[in-house]
Structure 1
Amino acid sequence: MYQPQLVSCLLALVFTMPCVAGDLEMTLRYQQETSPDSGRYHRLTRQESWKPSETAIIVCDVWDLHHCQNAVLRVQEFAPRLDHVLSKAREQGVTIIHAPSGCMEHYAQHPARRRAQLIAPAPTLPEEITKWCYQIPSEEKGVYPVDQSDGGEDDEPEQHVNWAEELMNRGLNPKAPWSKQTDLLTIDAEKDYISDKGDEVWNILSAKGIDNVILTGVHTNMCVLGRPFGLRQLAKNGKNVVLMRDMTDTMYNPEAWPFVSHFTGTDLIISHIEKFVAPTVTSDQLIGGKPFVFKGDVRPHVVIAMAEAEYETNRTLPEFANAYLGKDFRVSYCFANDTNRDNIPGFDTALEDADVLVLSVRRRALPLKQMEALRKYIVAGKPVIGIRTACHAFSLHGKEPPEGTETWEAFDPEVFGGNYHGHYPSKIASHIDVVTDSSSHPILQGISRDRYTQYGSLYKTSPIANSASLLLTGAVEGQPQEPVAWTFDRADRGKSFFTSLGHKTDFDKPMFQRLLLNGIYWAAGEPIPQEFDLEKPVEPRKKW
């Protein structure tokens, strides 16, 4: 018999039941040394499935105000996205812990604060869980990547003075003006927790059986890493902790070592974390779409792939990029597999959002997935820069590639418009000259017209494609000139720049440094600076 009251009750029960979500499918990015003590790292990913009931998100120090106005502005920019992340995670059954340090007085009567205080103590607490953690043993192998000893303020001087004055006019301490978490983030009074204490947070995780923890908030290089509930403490005490790398920010001043942009400073800290502390994830893994990017972060993404054993470019190229590209570019490094020559781990993933590809590879086959990613990148008409052995990067002299791999024998003519067919003996120096008719080309901007002596072997590359634009030539005594640097408009409408320079001695020469810098800016479609400070001393690295 139809009973309307019973049906109404059942429907009400259905619509008020909590949503039962599936597992969280997470892609964790981490870095692994190519071989012990190499100092080079593969950037890799792995997939994990997490139960929402066994997962927490900790929101670290996303305060309403800060002594650095730019820090406030960046928080205001990413906080709405973070609120969306928290809302979605909460719906799926993830525990949300708000941790605005030093602001517990403001929340003394808040149900989420009382809930945290009433959690039963864990049977055991990790040693020093109530203290800041400034380093864990795994970090001793690395070098801290930025100088934050000035506090990391990146306001302009006048801006900072005006901001301090505004805070004082509000009756606030300009050195510590925060009093609560930003109102741009929702605190669910029925479900969430509020705490800034390491033992309380640990009690919450213990009581709810939580092993998976996502850290978000600010600032990555300070509070997110070091707080009693931060990445270091949770990592060293066995939690499966990750940083949500697009829902964070750093306190880094570009006027301090290593003299890179603020956003590159953040990248360097994230890289340090991935190597020595914990993996990272991105917000889109919970809410879809694409990872968050600050509107001011317009850096083109340069991917540098290194897989050759003759010229030490796995050393010289990162040193070059670290010294000169950090202000205007986001840079990713892909190194050869030290135990399998026909593999460049992480290459396919790096190419997904690359804007410029720099190749220093010699006679390698690639796994099918990596070769597919390379072809897709090139067919899309994106720029390619090759140095030295890149003209025979994916050629095995016609030999059959190992099973599961693929070569690209015609890579040189198809991508560079080149014609590599050997080289002169390495003991014979060659003389490099600027092609007079091309001297106004952007890539030759700031390049001396004086003859340049190359001590690496001169490549035999003549004749190059008719559609190539020759920039530099070289010759050994008694032999015809050979093309040394040129640009090429590819059939896919992309552009390439190739130079047979790139011997390890070339990287010490301002002429080659300027040539490669110009080529990268040109390929990225960025204005080439009139001057580069190629002689700027690099401050010795310290553990800040």
Structure 2
Amino acid sequence: MKHTSKLLITLFATAAVSASAASGQWLDYKGKKGPGKGKKVVLISGDEEYRSEEAMPALADILSRHHGFDCRVVFPIDPKSGIVDPNNRTNIPGLESLADADLMFIATRFRDLPEEQMAHIDAYLKRGGPVIGMRTATHAFNIAGNKKYAHYSNGYGGPKKEWQGGFGKLILGDFWLNHHGGHKTESTVGIIAPGAEEHPTTRGVSNGDVWGPTDVYGVRLPLPKGSQHIILGQVTKREGPRTSDPFFGMKPTDDEAVEGRKNNPMMPVFWTRNYQIPDGKSGRTFATTMGSSTDLAAAGTRRILVNGAYWLLDLEIPKTGTKVDLGGELNPSQYSFRRGDFWPAQNKRPTDFRLKRRK
């Protein structure tokens, strides 16, 4: 009997440790009061350059604190050390939480996830779950051609006709094209697209409110039938020298548009789209080629993203737009690639990416 008791205690302790270890691989946010109460949002980070590991916790904090959504942020995790490593393209634990999610944010870049993880994303899309795709989500996956989910790859050109262009094309409306604006030299100033002035997602947003030091991405025009441009990206000159601050010396007060083809026509940087994958239900997308953590320093950028979440979930957006005050210090990092031993040396866990509360 004693041996049985000891065995049960050991098994219980092992299970508890395993559960604790697993939960430490992501961040959960319990929703407070708000229209999103009872709804669940999963935010998927996983890019090497634009600091989605900082951006997604900031958005989850806003969505849960001000709007009532239960949120889970998942990260690229090194399976051996358990640290957050954006350069690890093959592991994002916690995607099973998509099974009962009401909304998915995704900002991954060239991920090659195992079948058991991709299956959760595939199942979510087959049921027509709404999607907010940010920045590098146009080229979210790069999966070898002999694998089950190779058709999700950026620019896919294989035998599955409906999937030509991959996840980016079928779900968001386009896949990776180019840097249209000057990388780290020309910022993005958001201009409400003609015809979108009365769209619910633009409530509380005026020209110039949406801003980011990320350059405008090029997209193939026209976007697929049924897409609607919401915000256009004015390619804007930096006034002054490049600096070492997180914005490379660019400021939201910069207002001189670059002359010539970069702004004629302006590229859409936010748009809506309906999607449907083979053997799946139809769903809606709110896509943006913005979304670095530095872009979220602008309240207008945060607001249109949260407005987009409301719109996808058929929630009424206030006339003045959604509340997007930060509950802590964002302190975004410069966007850049950090290679080699950078992330192992940082030794950061998901909990290190929660916003630090203001004193």
Higher Cα Rg, which structure: 1
| TM-score interval (norm. to shorter) | 0.5 to 0.7
Q: Is the 8 A contact 1:212 1:240 kept in 2?
A: no
Structure 1 counterpart SS, 2:217: coil
Aligned to 2:186: 428
Instruction: Measure the CA separation in 2 of the matches of 1:342 and 1:239.
Output: 29
Aligned partners of 1:341 and 1:322: how far apart in 2?
25
- Against the structure 1 CA distance between its residues 271 and 353, is the aligned structure 2 distance closer, same or farther, given a 3 Å change threshold? farther
Structure 1 counterpart of 2:226, one-letter code: S
Matched, 1:470 2:229: yes
Contact 2:63/2:69 (<8 A) preserved: no
Are the equivalent residues in 1 in contact too, given 2:204–2:322 (CA < 8 A)? no
| Counterpart code for 1:363 | F
Q: Distance in 2 between matches of 1:324 and 1:522?
A: 14
CA deviation map 1:261-297 (0-9, x unaligned): xxxxxxxxx9899549xxxxxxxxxxxxxxxxxxxx9
Matching residue of 1:374: 121
Q: Unmatched 5+ residue regions in structure 2? A: 26-35, 80-87, 154-165, 236-257, 330-355
| Counterpart Cα distance in 1 of 2:293 and 2:46 | 14
Equivalent position to 2:324, from 530, 534, 540 = 534
Q: How does 1:102-501 map to 2 (within 5 A)?
A: 209=5, 211-212=7-8, 239-240=13-14, 242=16, 274-275=23-24, 299-326=38-65, 327-338=67-78, 340-347=88-95, 349-395=96-142, 400=144, 406-409=150-153, 410-424=166-180, 425-426=182-183, 427-450=185-208, 452-463=210-221, 464-476=223-235, 477=258, 478=260, 479=262, 480=264, 481-491=266-276, 492-501=281-290
Mark the CA change 1:302 to 1:328 in structure 2 (over 3 Å): closer, same or farther.
Answer: same
CA distance in 1, matches of 2:102, 2:283: 12
Write the deviation string for residues 317-351 of structure 1: whole angstroms up to 9, x where unpaired: 1123123424411111221133641222222x112
Change (3 A) 1:210 1:537: same
Q: Is the 8 A contact 2:327 2:357 kept in 1?
A: no
> Normalization by structure 2: what TM-score?
0.65
| Inter-CA distance 272–367: structure 2 relative to 1 (3 Å threshold) | closer
1:451 deviation in Å?
6.2
1:470/1:485 contact within 8 Å kept: yes
Question: Could you say what secondary structure the match of 1:366 adopts?
Answer: coil
Distance in 1 separating the partners of 2:234 and 2:326: 32
| Percentage identity across paired residues of the two chains | 26
C-alpha offsets along residues 140-159 of structure 1, whole Å, 9 cap, x if unaligned?
Answer: xxxxxxxxxxxxxxxxxxxx
**What is the distance in 1 between the residues matched to 2:317 and 2:38?**
14
* Contact 1:306/1:334 (<8 A) preserved: yes
* Count of matched residue pairs: 267
Higher relative contact order (CA 8 A, sep 6+): 2
CA distance in 2 between partners of 1:418 and 1:313 (Å)? 20
Letter in 2 for 1:454: G
Q: Determine the C-alpha separation between the residues in 1 that align with 2:13 and 2:120.
A: 35
TM-score, normalising length: structure 1: 0.44
Question: Aligned to 1:473, what secondary structure does the other structure show?
Answer: strand
Distance verdict in 2 for CA 1:239–1:401, change over 3 Å: same
C-alpha deviation, 1:537, in angstroms = 5.2
Query: Is the CA contact (8 Å cut-off) linking 1:211 and 1:239 kept in structure 2?
Result: no
1-side partners of 2:37 and 2:312: how far apart?
Answer: 15
2:295 maps to what in 1?
506
| Residues 166-221 of structure 1, C-alpha deviations (whole Å, 9 max, x = no match) | xxxxxxxxxxxxxxxxxxxxxxxxxxxxxxxxxxxxxxxx69725546xxxxxxxx
1:303 positional shift? 0.8
Query: Residues of 1 paired with 2:20 and 2:290: CA distance?
Result: 30
State the Cα deviation string for residues 466-495 of structure 1 (Å, max 9, x = none).
210110111332222111111101134210
Inter-partner Cα distance in structure 2 for 1:489 and 1:242: 43
